[in-house]
Amino acid sequence: MTTIALGLITYNGAKYIGNVLEQLAPIVDEIVIVDSFSTDDTIAIATHYKAKIYERSFTGSYSELRNFAIDNTQSQYIIFMDCDEVLENPNILVNIDFEADIYSMPRKNYIDNILQEHWYPDVQHRIIKTNSLVRYEGNLHEMPIGREDAVILDTHIIHRKTMIEQKYNDKRYAEIDNK
């Protein structure tokens, strides 16, 4: 049977992390969290789910953190989610006939509970075969590189945040892009 890990890159994600952990912990074989020294309850919440937690400074590259998570999982695949995301149909992870190196899903983005239709389908390449040549590249809006056989799954990532959080992220991402 194919094994799959949940990978989370975190920093002060306590507000949302419980949702994704509660949804996927019963389905995945392990949880790998790479945390950039959160000062809220992120780690305490993750510990409740028996996550393997690694602390690493954020150097401006999300790819670096994702690749670190890949290198520190025992599972054959890893699904990366953000703290403020859940899967529309989490059981799809049980029903995948794992063969490809990359699996992708469209993402529905909600700001203040309003679907941002102009962003759809916002395809996210989030399930990676860990023993393949696939690695993430790019500091921001990182992409898996190394194989061309991505399969799009019949489910969505649901991404919810507030307008205040979106504006904060926009500013933060602009700072990363300008480095």
pLDDT tens track of the chain, all 179 residues? 899 999 999 999 999 999 999 999 999 999 999 999 999 999 999 999 999 999 999 998 999 999 999 999 999 999 999 999 999 999 999 999 899 999 999 999 999 999 999 999 999 999 999 988 899 998 877 889 887 678 999 999 999 999 999 998 878 777 777 66
Q: Using CA atoms, how far apart are residues 109 and 125, in angstroms rounded to an integer?
A: 15
Q: What is the dihedral of CA 40, 9, 58, 108, to 10 degrees?
A: -100
Distance of CA 111 to the CA centre of its chain: 18
Q: Using CA atoms, how far apart are residues 127 and 174, in angstroms rounded to an integer?
A: 26
Q: Using CA atoms, how far apart are residues 111 and 105, in angstroms rounded to an integer?
A: 19
Instruction: Determine the pLDDT at residue 179.
Output: 65
**Which residues make beta-bridge pairs with 79?**
6, 127
Instruction: Determine the pLDDT at residue 135.
Output: 93
Q: Whole-structure pTM over 0.85, yes or no?
A: yes
Q: What is the Cα Rg of the chain in Å?
A: 15
- Residue 111 DSSP one-character state: E
Instruction: Determine the pLDDT at residue 132.
Output: 82
B/e letters for 82-119, b = 16+ CB within 10 Å, e = fewer, are bbbbbbeebebbeebebebbbbbbbbbbebeeeeeeee
Instruction: Determine the pLDDT at residue 159.
Output: 98
Task: State the CATH class of domain 4-177.
Answer: alpha beta
**Closest alpha carbon to 10 in 102, 83, 93, 69:** 83
Compute CA distances 112 → 61, 107, 115, 159, whole Å: 28, 16, 9, 11
- Residue 22 DSSP one-character state: H
